[in-house]
Amino acid sequence: MTQAPTRPTDSQDDAAPERTGLVGRSVPRREDLALLTGTARFIDDLKLPGMVYAKILRSKVAHARLRAVDLTRARAMPGVLDALCGADLAGKVKPWGDLMQDLLVGDHTPFATDKVLYEGQEIAAVVAATKYQALDALEAIDVDLDLLPALVDPEDALAPDAPLIQEGISYEFGNGNVFDRYRVRVGDAERAAAEAAVVVRQRFATNRQAGAALDPHGCIASYDSFTHELTVYSSTQSIYMVRDVLADVLQIPRNKVRVIVPEVGAGFGSKAQIFPYEVIASIFSMRIGRPVHLVLGRKEIFQSGTARNGQVRYAELMCKRDGTITGYRDYVVHNCGAMSVWGNQVIHIGTNVGMLPYAVPNVHVDSDIVHTNTAPGGALRGFGIPQMIWAKEQLVDMAAAELGIDPLEMRARNVIRPESFPYRTPMGQVIDSTSVYDCLHKSAEAIGWAGAKAEPKPYEGVGLAVSMKYTSCRHPSFDTDLSAVRLRLETDGTVTIYSSDVSHGQSHATMLAQIVSDGLGVGFEKITLARPDSLTSPFGLGTYASRGAAVLGTACRLATERLRAKVLTMAAHVLEAAPDDLEIGNDRVYVKGLPDSGLYLEILAGMAAYRTHQLPDGFEPTLEAVATYDTPTEREHADGSGNLSVTYSTAAHAARVRVDPDTGLVRVVDYAMAHDTGVVINPLVVEGQHQGGFLMGLGMVLGEDYVYDKDGHLLNASFKDYLAPTATDMPELTKLYEIPAPSVTIPGGQKGAGESGTGPVPAAVGNAVFDATGVRFTALPITPQKMLLALREKERRGVKTFRYPDDMPDFRGPRRPDDWPTPRAADEAEFDWDFDDEFGDEDGAE
Amino acid sequence: MQRVTITVNGTEVSSEIDERTLLLEFIRDVAGLTGTHNGCLEARCGCCSVEVDGGIVKSCNVLALQVNGCEVTTIEGLSPQRLRPVEHITSQSLAGVYQPLDALGADASTLHPVQKAFHSCHALQCGFCTPGMVMVLKNYLEENPNPTRDDVRSAIAGNLCRCTGYQHIVDAGMAAAEEMRTSESISEPSLAGDA
Amino acid sequence: MKPFTFLTPTDAHEAVALMAEHGTSARLIAGGQSLLLAMKERTATPSVLVSLSSVTGLSGITTGSSGELSVGTTTTYAVLADAALPGWHAEISRMAGDLADRPVRTMGTIGGAICAADPRFDMPVLVMGTGARLEVLGAAGARTIDPSDFFLAGGGTCLSPDEVLTAIHFPEREHYRAVAFEKFRQRQFDAATASVLCALTQGSDGRIGAARIAVGAVAPSPRLCSATTEAMVSGADPFALDLEEVGVAVAAEVLPETDTGTARYHCELVKALTRRALARALSTLGS
């Protein structure tokens, strides 16, 4: 396994002689020095004068009626300054909630009020002079609960007699525990099934997964009682989402809430929303007038942070004799946990974009989106795509086996290869470019696909999977996909970049500086990225959905162009030359061909600010430019189709695994990743993103999981038991190939990098495990225990291949209409049941 | 309350502390050095790794009282910042007229070989696990100058990273090992010919 | 953590006296790698901590005149791993260097692990499998305990609150011809899912002499498989031993009669690890 690493070098860069700028080079990062030497300040590193410490009492049970919370003893504990519970805030804070249901439903409150919905939900909080005093006081809070039966399995939530989780909320499209629905009607899947040569079907289940960013969720809230300004330092991915929701919840003006980020130690989607702790710390600070520190512990983050939505998919793939995929049908039970902000959107994006890289003409998907007494579902690297790919790419292998076609060939016949771009798929995606066909072959070749198939080794196998990933966040309920950048050429020739999109590992300070340096001819070392601060940063949505390089990068490029035009106009005036005759570079503007002459940018900028009488007539002083870029994406259409992303990056992965027949341990011994990330701004950074994406996929397929007992207790809420991969669990990731097909829609040609590496991993490993052992895993994760028990079961039955776990209904064979699960809340035409009959009215909530 | 004296990065720090104070908390709250991070408090993630009398420990799982009188090295102690002339980056510098001011600072050239390798190999993204990773690798490589890639993986098996997939961290470990071997040999008397 | 008093005795008798004085509200702390985790979780709430780190004579590795290897209770894994021990004692070093992770090995001690008595830890299996004697000092004086008595079948140890484990005495180098430990855990720094230690002596006729097999992590305490070893391994011809069969017998002897997935998995692991440990020990025997 010990191999020499490949590393992009300057000599490789030099191989492309036409490239003179920084974009496309592995420029060492601006961010590194502070992080490497320990001077970077994360949320827990900040200390404000007079700061005090808050801690949250969380529910130890998953489902209960909350009778009373008594804070009397806690308030009397040493050092305690204040204590709060739900009853104290009833009617004083506006609940917030699921983005799909935002106008109707606010299912999030700072504390549980009348009911506890999941283990770890906030019940009360205290603030004290020290952390220990706050923790001690938590133990003096008396809570009176009546236990209710817990609902853990998402399919159990569908039962009419299931315990009702969210009471008293009128959902627009759901009822009871089914709080929303999702459907796709493209083409005619019934007919595709009838006409198909082969239909493969299987029930697939996916696991919950945590972002588990190592920098804990946390904030410091500081309220100024004279100016009524609330300043919140928060470890978040989106300052404006926190600001706007927080202001609404507290009913104070949005311009009186200032959200600032310290250094943010990763998020992966798990910090892309507001959380109760931000509200709690703010309320404490407003009440006691001191800065309140509230940073969560690891167990709290596992229990109450968001987790990847689990899904149960009854999936079906229809193919012609030649392997052409003609249809896809699926019924999905989508587990959003007890509440969600983003979780609901995951099924939309994951299913729509997860259909790629195939142009499937007939698609029929129904989904019941349910609540369970488990951790809230939400965004996590891949946003539904790994779940979808896990099912679909295994079905592709199953169909290939049925048809006697090599899985590589099967994919090669189906991946999008239009004669011209842009190409609109039946699902509505507009593919502006892709090298998926080449990526597929490159990854297969790199893993030694043909050889491995020709000479199989016992307990060793290879597998493929392909996926494409969106670069946008226009969701059904989120009708925007913008980022903004403001640039200022300072009067000494340096440049400040303002953006509200939080860099938490994505290298914005480097990547944006590369773009600005190329566009303005300013030295890289002169460019600084200002920290996101809602008081000064232009409005932007935040950093998620792989939008950094493409959407924020484009805003930055546009701002750079505007600033450049302004600089040239001014220089043309001063130099008495035509703007077209001027070139910009080397920190100056010069007449073409005379790079050593000209005007330094600092002279121009100084003039634009301090000697404005020298400016041309009508020239607006100072050299600043703002650009906001919103992508030309579409909202989801009623039939579920639509172009939800501005461009699509591609990942074709090939895995070689080895299974230990004694212990069941699955090791990925070789792995090849061929990607189309369009124009890459910083190759080494993008390589790191892909490798990190792979890690999350590997964790999802081989270990990470939220293990609940039947009462809804999370049994592995610690890094001791939560199986996050370590360095020794990883293969060498040197077989990384970029085959760029530059985006046409994005001016610079970039495509999203962040999540691209995660999508295919579970399916590629699952397919390889089948190749190695004959066991087709239908549920995630594939733990050593499950692997070994599957092998023994296979031996016991004396079969060559089988699907596992075998307690799952086998959906192979001819399909009859009545053996398909019936959606509970999915079909608009059939959506005519009488709710009172279906669900009863026993709680009187309606 | 009990008095504890710990030498942190060469500076003696003494304080009356709550017995419960972890070494991690002593370093962060008493010594005021926040480069040592609290990622889990479960002795798992490794973000809080520091050296105590030359041995590497997870400081969230050690009481400050347990290491009373010991010498602790944190990430801040690896490449101490020093007073140096401020670098002028603007073209219109007045360097010809005035001497530059001195300010505390560091640059890539003054970093420890492990830090330097992390920088050149892009072995950090969000950077939260980085101080722990760097400390463990430094401690390991000083004892094991000729590791294989798998050895480096084992050395950091107690440190979690969620960003990088570890690949570039292992690259950095190997690159640092090489530089440490080289600088070890050139720190012998003959310095001549050093490029 | 709950508030506590931290005491640092300098000799073992003083430590014992402090433990006797404070009773069950006191806990001993050596490296603290298990205890502090429990205290942070507030599942252990001692009001007194008696530290062994300043007690003289509790740390280090010595070879007695009879050849037995004595390891002080506060000897860290790091020290054990770095000790160049000859013969089968090298397996002790190998084990100490292959558990938890590098930083935990710096602080964690052999005595701490044994007294924590977590069956998933490797040190309890080590002492059980090799029949090491555990030297204990209490208010009533010193005594030496056999590991079979030390670990209670239902979990925990037989130590009374005032007793301090002071040293672990392993049989002399010549006693065993081969000792091999095999374990399985998903990630390198995880505690074992199952582990098996096999210790063999060899008769002058080349046959296996006395054998011991201990199994960890599948029961509340480390288990010694005396029935299987007596019936099938001790006195056997090493070349004729059916490892698969021994594995099945060991699993049958230590595992409860339940049919959960975890129990079936433990059974498979114990069989495989027994086979691996025996095979490795036998290869030493043959060399």
Q: Is the pLDDT assigned to residue A6 strictly greater than 60?
A: no
CA–CA distance, A329 with A340 (Å, rounded to integer): 26
Nearest CA in chain B to A754: B163
Helices (H), A106-254: 131-138, 189-195, 239-250
ipTM: 0.96
Inter-chain contact B56–C103, Cβ cutoff 8 Å? yes
CA–CA distance, B58 with C101 (Å, rounded to integer): 10
> Do the beta carbons of residue A639 and residue A187 sit within 8 Å?
no
State residue B62 phi and psi, 5-degree precision.
Answer: -135, 130
Per-residue tokens: C77? 């894994």
pLDDT computed for residue A140 by the predictor: 98
Per-residue b/e over A556-571, b at no fewer than 16 CB within 10 Å?
Answer: bbbbbebbbebbbebb
Sign (positive/negative) of CA torsion C269, A723, A123, A337?
negative
pLDDT digits (tens, 9 = 90+) for A58-67: 999 999 999 9
CA–CA distance, A527 with A516 (Å, rounded to integer): 8
CA–CA distance, C249 with C228 (Å, rounded to integer): 6
Mean pLDDT for the stretch of residues B63-90: 89
Environment class of A709 (CB within 10 Å of its CB; exposed 0-12, middle 13-18, buried 19+): exposed
> Do the beta carbons of residue A301 and residue A216 sit within 8 Å?
yes
Q: Is the pLDDT assigned to residue A815 strictly greater than 50?
A: no
> Do the beta carbons of residue A623 and residue A611 sit within 8 Å?
no
pLDDT computed for residue B190 by the predictor: 40
* Residues above pLDDT 90, as percent of chain A: 85
Nearest CA in chain B to C82: B143
Mean pLDDT for the stretch of residues C59-83: 95
* Residues above pLDDT 70, as percent of chain A: 92
Q: Is the pLDDT assigned to residue A814 strictly greater than 50?
A: no
Helices (H), A428-541: 436-447, 449-454, 508-520
- One-letter-per-residue 3-state SS of A282-301: HHHHHHHCCCEEEECCHHHH
pLDDT computed for residue A13 by the predictor: 42
Q: How confident is the model at residue C287 (pLDDT cuts 50, 70, 90)?
A: low
DSSP string, B5-35: EEEETTEEEEEEE-TT-BHHHIIIIIS--TT
Report pTM. Answer: 0.95
Identify which of A200-204, A774-778, A805-809 has the greatest average pLDDT: A774-778
Work out the mean pLDDT of chain A and round it to a whole number. 91
Q: How confident is the model at residue A466 (pLDDT cuts 50, 70, 90)?
A: very high
Per-residue tokens: B44? 């798992």
Strand ranges, E, within A784-838: 802-804
C147 and chain B in contact, CB less than 8 A:
no
Per-residue tokens: A197? 């040569």
To the nearest whole angstrom, how far is the Cα of B111 from the nearest Cα of chain A? 8
Mean pLDDT for the stretch of residues A667-692: 98
- Residues in chain C within 8 Å Cβ distance of B43: 33, 36-37, 103-104
Q: Is the pLDDT assigned to residue A323 strictly greater than 90?
A: yes
Max Cα-Cα span within chain C: 62
> Do the beta carbons of residue C245 and residue C162 sit within 8 Å?
no
C268 and chain A in contact, CB less than 8 A:
yes
pLDDT computed for residue A630 by the predictor: 96
- Cβ atoms within 10 Å, residue A254: 14
Peptide bond into A422 cis (omega under 30): yes
Environment class of C241 (CB within 10 Å of its CB; exposed 0-12, middle 13-18, buried 19+): middle
A720, A728, A792 ranked by CB distance to C268: nearest? A792
To the nearest whole angstrom, how far is the Cα of A419 from the nearest Cα of chain C? 48
pLDDT digits (tens, 9 = 90+) for C206-224: 899 999 999 999 999 999 9
C-facing residues of B in 128-167 (CB < 8 A) are 136, 139-140, 154-155, 157-159
Q: How confident is the model at residue B96 (pLDDT cuts 50, 70, 90)?
A: low
Mean pLDDT for the stretch of residues A637-660: 96
Max Cα-Cα span within chain A: 91
Mean pLDDT for the stretch of residues B145-173: 98
Question: Which one-letter amino acid corresponds to residue A63?
Answer: H
Q: Which residue has the higher pLDDT, A18 or A495?
A: A495
CA–CA distance, B179 with B115 (Å, rounded to integer): 11
Mean pLDDT for the stretch of residues A129-139: 96
C40 and chain A in contact, CB less than 8 A:
no
CA–CA distance, A681 with A548 (Å, rounded to integer): 11
> Do the beta carbons of residue C172 and residue C117 sit within 8 Å?
no
pLDDT digits (tens, 9 = 90+) for B97-106: 777 788 888 7
Nearest CA in chain A to C183: A663
